Amino acid sequence: MSGTHLVIQILCYNEAQTLPLVVRELPKAIPGVDRLEVLVVDDGSTDGTAEVAQSLGVDHVVSHPINRGVAAAFQTGLEASLRAGADIIVNTDGDNQYPGEYIPALIEPIQGRRADVVIGDRQTHQVEHFTQRKRYLQRLGSRVVSLTAGTPVPDAASGFRALSREAALRIHVVSTYSYTLETIIQAAKKGLRIQSVPVTINEPTRQSRLIKSTWSYVRRQALTILQVYTVYEPLRTFSYAAIPFLALGSVLMLRFAVLYLMMATGVGRHVQSLIVGSMLFIVGFVIFLIGLIAHTTATNRLLLEELLYRQKRQELSSNFGPNSDTERAKA
């Protein structure tokens, strides 16, 4: 990929103190990139973050009138970066967690056409300021996401990542909590190639705003994984849920049938097995039917997503022309 337009989007919420450090560390030039722009997404800050961004001379500032959360800020950044004509988008945070020196390594797999999404692996097992419990939960969460997505992702919670234009067009965040896990599962289910590159992180400048409570964070992330997986694999999800009911119901009904055939009298004492088994089997069957309906709905959703993708790609092509290799190939 030659003549690449790179947009680095910085997600901010009350980051007036640390934003200058982040902007200062960003690379000024990268091999293979002939246009590099910086976009700041101000998620309803009250400390003058937007004004600081403008004073730093960044190329674009997009502001939410109120705080809508990091997931909404990420989606806003993608849309603004695409409108700016980006071929590659790098996402980072305004808290100076991620060193800008790793951006060339982050985009290199996309430049080499080996990946559509590249995630900065913080190597959480080596991060000294992470507690042992946090390291364990990070590893566990990444394994669950890897299993759900069907592709290895060593650090699923890392927000330091690069996306090709194709990936940015196809991904649409619906979660109101966090974008990190959802976008990985979405990308994998849509056939986008995901890679990771090792990075280090700076010492924290503040407490995480996402993690108010460890167990609350785990619960919300688990719900996000389940929600996204159900959207893309509804029949499999509901089938898994139906199997215990169908199996137990079948066992109880089989028990009654065996007793009925073996015992000429006294079988009435075991009619509870037939009743309970029948009820469990019916519940399992209803859950499976719900899965079939959800599967049909998911198919319609995929068709709508494809139409939305084609519409966005057409709009960008009309505004900027086919200025990415993907666009040229499909034009």
Residue 64 in tokens: 């939410």
Instruction: For residue 281, tell me if it sits in a domain.
Output: yes
- pLDDT bracket for residue 331 (50, 70, 90): very low
Instruction: For residue 331, tell me if it sits in a domain.
Output: no
Instruction: For residue 255, tell me if it sits in a domain.
Output: yes
Closest CA to 289 of 225, 229, 297, 273: 297
In whole numbers, what is the pLDDT of the chain averaged over residues?
A: 88
The reply to whether 113 and 186 lie within a common domain is: yes
The reply to whether 197 and 249 lie within a common domain is: no
**Weakest mean pLDDT among 72-81, 85-94, 306-315:** 306-315
The reply to whether 205 and 242 lie within a common domain is: no
User: Does residue 265 have a pLDDT over 60?
Assistant: no
Domain boundary among 202, 231, 260: 231
Contact 120, 161 (CB under 8 A): yes
From the CA atom positions of the chain, what is the Rg in Å?
25
Instruction: For residue 320, tell me if it sits in a domain.
Output: no
Closest CA to 19 of 97, 70, 94: 94
At residue 329, the pLDDT reads 33
At residue 162, the pLDDT reads 97
Give the number of domains in the chain: 2
The reply to whether 53 and 95 lie within a common domain is: yes
At residue 231, the pLDDT reads 85
Helix ranges (H only) for 56-170 are: 70-83, 103-111, 132-149, 165-170
At residue 322, the pLDDT reads 53
The reply to whether 34 and 130 lie within a common domain is: yes
pLDDT single digits (tens) 133-178: 888 888 888 999 999 999 999 999 999 999 999 999 999 888 878 8
At residue 125, the pLDDT reads 82
Domain boundary among 182, 213, 231: 231
Residue 63 in tokens: 């502001």
- Domain span holding position 52: 4-231
Q: What is the dihedral of CA 145, 232, 89, 177, to 10 degrees?
A: -70
User: Does residue 327 have a pLDDT over 50?
Assistant: no
Residue 142's domain is classified under what CATH number? Answer: 3.90.550.10
At residue 83, the pLDDT reads 92
User: Which whole number is the average pLDDT over 195-203?
Assistant: 93
The reply to whether 50 and 18 lie within a common domain is: yes
The reply to whether 201 and 99 lie within a common domain is: yes
